[in-house]
Structures are given as structure tokens and as C-alpha cells.
Structure 1
Amino acid sequence: MSKYVALGLIETFGLVFVLEAADAMCKAADVELIGYENVASGYISVLVSGDVEACKAAVDAGVKAVEDMGAEVYSSVVIASPHEDLQKITARYSLDKLLP
């Protein structure tokens, strides 16, 4: 299992806004979309991985995209050098398990 250099996460309300965030994140920097999770009551989180600067740029772009649509970002974070045990959590959200 490969180790993430950094993780970038955004949580907002609604699928349309999280899709806009994810699109902006992937276009803004060289990051890999890990996946997403419908957290609760319409809040959805999207996760990306890449180097620290790429994750920072991606999260900034995702936050701006959501705010430009008139919505709020509930939370966002970039975790540099995440502990390898975090993969036990992020694996649950992986899009890889959905792909054939």
C-alpha cells in the first residue's frame, strides 16, 4: 500500500457543490481523487491526495469553487505527511472499490 504525501479534504452541503469542488480540485493541481463520503444530513466530504503544495492548491481551488456558487464550505483541511494508519479510514472512501 502506498503512503500518501498529503491529504486534502473539503466538506460541504450537497452533491452539486461537492462535485464542483472535486472538479476544481482535480483541475487545479496534480492530485488524485481518493473518493467521497456522504457524511450526514446532506454533508459530503471529498478527499484527494498528492504532494503538500498540490493538495493546498487543490483545496484552495475547491473552496473557491463552492463559495463562487454561493454555498458554504463546512470544513477543509490539508494534512501533510499523514500517519500511515489514516489509510484505514481513507480506504473506506476509496473510489477504487467502486471501479470494475
Structure 2
Amino acid sequence: MESALGLVETRSFPAIVGTADMMLKSAGVTLVGFEKIRSGYCTAIVRGGIADVRLAVQAGAETAEQFGQLVSTLVIPRPMPNLEVVLPINSRLSQLAQTQGYSRLSNHAIGLLETRGFPAMVGASDAMLKAADVELIAYETIGDALCTAIIRGTVANVAVAVEAGMYEAERIGDLHAVMVIPRPLDDLDQALPVAAAWLQQQPQPLTIPMPVLQLEQEKELVRLPELDQKLLDPEGPRR
């Protein structure tokens, strides 16, 4: 079967993730990855048979248009080998050649909330964590001051959390886009920064070199009298 590459570009990270999810679920294609070229431009790249790629790109374009974020699309039938080698997605292509991609549906949901400005994203993340049982996995920046917080949890919890985050982001600054993806395909999970961040969060054994441990035991506590009153009473001495 002759292969093809398909590309859909948007100006929002949640929009491109939602677009990629629709592309994967509409045709037999594999998600190669995302390319972010700053100024908010993001491209989802898929690979598969020519007919499947055309169908996926069409579905992706329609989805991106619904979000009001479509920039451009491209289908490359029978790409030359050198094209795939030169593109920065070549390491992901090598992995796909060995694993043949992923297709299993995950039993969780992914939530993405994008703001223009970092404080609004941080405040929205705090609101989402306090509103429902979700985990903040990572955040993504794509230029043009756009920042996206990425959470995961059950579908219901992610939906509640994203709603709370929207209100907080609008209160603080500029809410740009939101997306809730129920039961994402493993292929989508692997392409997001979620997977790497999830592994990094796993607890690692703590080892302390013996000389450092001995040094810590020999240290004595040093009191700073001038700070004691402030620590005990942040408002200062009472009259």
C-alpha cells in the first residue's frame, strides 16, 4: 500500500490536539507528532495509506474550522525517503517503523486549557486541581504568549476541572482555548508531553552520599533573632 503524509495546522495547542484526536478516530492513520514553530502555529502530522490520510486531513480541517483555528492543510502522497529523514519528526518515524503505532483507547480523559499569559495559566491550573480529582501533567508554550495546562483524570473530573479553570483564567487574564478529549487513543497520548511528564513524576529512590550525610549531621542550627518576630507574626509587632 502506498503511503502518504498529512498535515493540518492551527494557531492553538488545544485546537491541534483536538484536531489530531479527530484525525486518528476518523481513519486508519498514525499520529507522527506535533510541530510547533512559535507565534502560536502548531501542526499535527499523520501517516498512513493515501486514502486514509486524505480522509483524516479532511476530518481534521473540518474540526479545526469548528474551533476557528484552521491555518492550512497538506497531503503528500508517496513522500520521498529524504523528506522524512530531514523533517524534525524523523525520530518519531523511526519509532513508528518499529512499533507500528498505537490504537488502544485509554480509560481516562485529557483536558487542555490555553491562556495568553503565564499567570492566567498558573491560576487556572490551581483552580482545576482544587475543583476535581485531576493531575496536572505538563504545560506547553507555543509562542505568542500562549500557554496550555494539560491535566488528566476521569472524563467527569476533567470536565469539572476545565470549567473551573476557565472561570479563573478569565478572571485573571485572557482565556484562549479549552479542550476535553475523552478516552484518547494511545497514539495521541504518546505524542503529547503528557507521557514523558507522567514518567518523571514517578517516585525515585533517594540516595545521599556518605560524606554529605556526615556533613549534614555535623551542622548546627543557627538562629536569626531579627527574623523570629516576622516568622511568628507576619503582620509585625502588635502595639
- Provide closer, same or farther for how the CA distance between residues 50 and 95 of structure 1 changes in structure 2, counting only shifts above 3 A: closer
**What is the rounded CA distance, in whole Å, between the counterparts of 1:96 and 1:46 in structure 2?**
17
1:78 is aligned with what amino acid?
Answer: V
Q: Deviations along 1:60-87, whole A, 9 cap, x unmatched?
A: 0000001122x22110011001111112
Unaligned 5+ residue runs, structure 2?
A: 1-105, 205-239
Look up the match of 1:81: 183
SS of the equivalent of 1:64 reads helix
Number of aligned residue pairs: give it.
Answer: 97
- Provide closer, same or farther for how the CA distance between residues 95 and 84 of structure 1 changes in structure 2, counting only shifts above 3 A: closer
When the two chains are superposed, the root-mean-square deviation of aligned CA atoms in Å is 2.0
**What is the rounded CA distance, in whole Å, between the counterparts of 1:8 and 1:95 in structure 2?**
15
Q: What percentage of aligned pairs have identical amino acids?
A: 33
**What is the rounded CA distance, in whole Å, between the counterparts of 1:91 and 1:4 in structure 2?**
18
**What is the rounded CA distance, in whole Å, between the counterparts of 1:89 and 1:29 in structure 2?**
25
Contact map agreement 1:38 1:44 (CA 8 A) in 2: yes
- TM-score after normalising by structure 1: 0.85
**What is the rounded CA distance, in whole Å, between the counterparts of 1:98 and 1:39 in structure 2?**
23
Q: Which has the higher contact order (CA 8 A, sep 6+)?
A: 1
**What is the rounded CA distance, in whole Å, between the counterparts of 2:168 and 2:138 in structure 1?**
18
Unaligned 5+ residue runs, structure 1?
A: none
Matched ranges for 1:14-33 at <5 A: 14-33=117-136
**What is the rounded CA distance, in whole Å, between the counterparts of 1:33 and 1:4 in structure 2?**
17
Q: Deviations along 1:1-57, whole A, 9 cap, x unmatched?
A: xx4510010000111110001000111000011110111121000000000010001
Give the counterpart of 2:171 among 59, 68, 75.
Answer: 68
Higher fraction of strand: 1
- Provide closer, same or farther for how the CA distance between residues 29 and 35 of structure 1 changes in structure 2, counting only shifts above 3 A: same
- TM-score after normalising by structure 2: 0.38
Matched ranges for 1:80-99 at <5 A: 80-91=182-193, 94=197, 97=200
- Does residue 35 (structure 1) correspond to residue 35 (structure 2)? The answer is no
**What is the rounded CA distance, in whole Å, between the counterparts of 1:21 and 1:83 in structure 2?**
26
SS of the equivalent of 1:73 reads strand
